[in-house]
Amino acid sequence: MALDPQIYGAFPTARPRRLRYHPGVRRLTRETILSPDRFIHPLFVREGKGVRAPISAMPGQFQLSIDELVKEVVELEKRGVGGTMLFGVPETKDAVGSDSMSDDGIVARAIRALKEVVGKDFLVIADVCFCEYTDHGHCGVLKKCGRGDADWDVDNDATLANLVKQTLVQARAGVDMVAPSGMMDGMIAAIRRGFDDAGFERIPIMSYSAKYASSFYGPFREAAESAPKFGDRRSYQMDPESSPGAAMREIALDVQEGADIIMVKPALPYLDIVRMAKDQFPGLPLAAYNVSGEYSMTKAAAMNGWIDEKRVVLETLNSIQRAGATIIITYWAKDVAEWLA
């Protein structure tokens, strides 16, 4: 729509650069303002003591033993970051991801350790999935499909029962929020019923409602040791070529089932989906995940001197927030909190 010159004026009366000439004026007229307390920092926890294992595909990120995880989270809290999201890297994996359903599993113990040191305002969030815990790397219980000798798929309904077990373990450990990421049909309803029946009705669910089978997840698979041993995840994660309406349907189903916060993942290639979700579900908090591939590409370019990392990262996160995300999950949370201080 063309601007009405009678309302907005025209040159030389109208000079938009007046609002850009002074840094104080630019600051005063901004609508997108990043705040560290809206950031969630993903962290990877593994067995051992004193372990701070670098993730080669994600410079500056580490797999951490619980004692090192506690140190890292204390630092995040000091910098004003809103919370962390935990991903477990167990010592032993099996066909169903038993470690994630054990009160003595790596994430359950990590949650208990963190809740002893962080304040009540810092959120300890647990990712809810099975790919890191299964020996096959898929996000649930497998079943034969009968279409060929290598055609296996995730059994949706059998996986729902295990998701409930996993989240109840996390709830008993003291988690503040859970974030189911497996894209199983009915997962939010199952988890919500499980929580309500067990007396955990106050724990919110942040659902990976529109999670795409994206090529941007590659570095994460090293970080979480979660690469599938065969096939891919296209039978349960969303097709990148699918219609935006399909994403809205997925989100609507999660909302009906009891999701408290909705999420789009990845963020940058799907800013159109973020904007559409903001417009169609205006009453719900909206998260976007600035994923590993987005992080690693920026890091690689910065390490080669091709871009200014700080400026590119701030511009990136501003774009995610401008699209409509009120919560940003990002591996830069700690750095950005320092830059904005």
Query: Residue 3: what pLDDT?
Result: 61
Amino acid identity at 258: G
Measured distance CA(99)–CA(93) in Å, rounded:
7
- Residues with Cβ within 8 Å of 262's Cβ and at least 6 positions away in sequence, in order, are 206, 207, 209, 210, 251, 254, 255, 277, 281, 284, 285, 286, 287
Pull the structure tokens for residue 171.
Answer: 């709830």
At 123, give phi and psi (nearest 5°).
Answer: -90, 130
Q: What is the DSSP letter of 239?
A: P
| pLDDT at 296 exceeding the cut of 60 | yes
pLDDT (tens digit, 9 = 90+) per residue, 224-238?
Answer: 888 887 778 888 899
Catalytic residue list: 211, 265
Q: Is 316 left (phi over 0), alpha (psi -120 to 50) or beta?
A: alpha
Pull the structure tokens for residue 324.
Answer: 């409509």
Instruction: Using the structure block, give the residue that is written with the tokens 């009120």.
Output: 326
Spatial contact of 338 and 79, defined as CB atoms under 8 Å apart: yes
Percentage above 70 pLDDT, the chain: 96
| pLDDT at 4 exceeding the cut of 80 | no
pLDDT (tens digit, 9 = 90+) per residue, 249-275?
Answer: 999 999 999 999 999 999 999 999 999
Instruction: Give the three-class secondary structure for 291.
Output: coil
What is the pLDDT averaged over residues 189-214?
A: 97
Pull the structure tokens for residue 47.
Answer: 């067995």
For 132, counting Cβ atoms within 10 Å of its Cβ (0-12 exposed, 13-18 middle, 19+ buried), the class is: buried
pLDDT (tens digit, 9 = 90+) per residue, 53-99?
Answer: 999 999 999 999 999 999 999 999 999 999 999 999 999 999 999 99
Pull the structure tokens for residue 337.
Answer: 């909190």
- Residues with Cβ within 8 Å of 110's Cβ and at least 6 positions away in sequence, in order, are 45, 66, 69, 86, 88
85, β-bridge pairs: 42, 125
Q: What is the DSSP letter of 269?
A: G
**Strand duo 142-144 + 152-154: pairing:** antiparallel
177, β-bridge pairs: 125
| pLDDT at 142 exceeding the cut of 80 | yes
pLDDT band at 13 (very low <50, low <70, confident <90, very high): confident
Query: Residue 81: what pLDDT?
Result: 97
Pull the structure tokens for residue 319.
Answer: 């774009």
Q: Which domains does the chain have, with CATH numbers?
A: 34-340 (3.20.20.70)
| pLDDT at 129 exceeding the cut of 70 | yes
Query: Residue 235: what pLDDT?
Result: 84
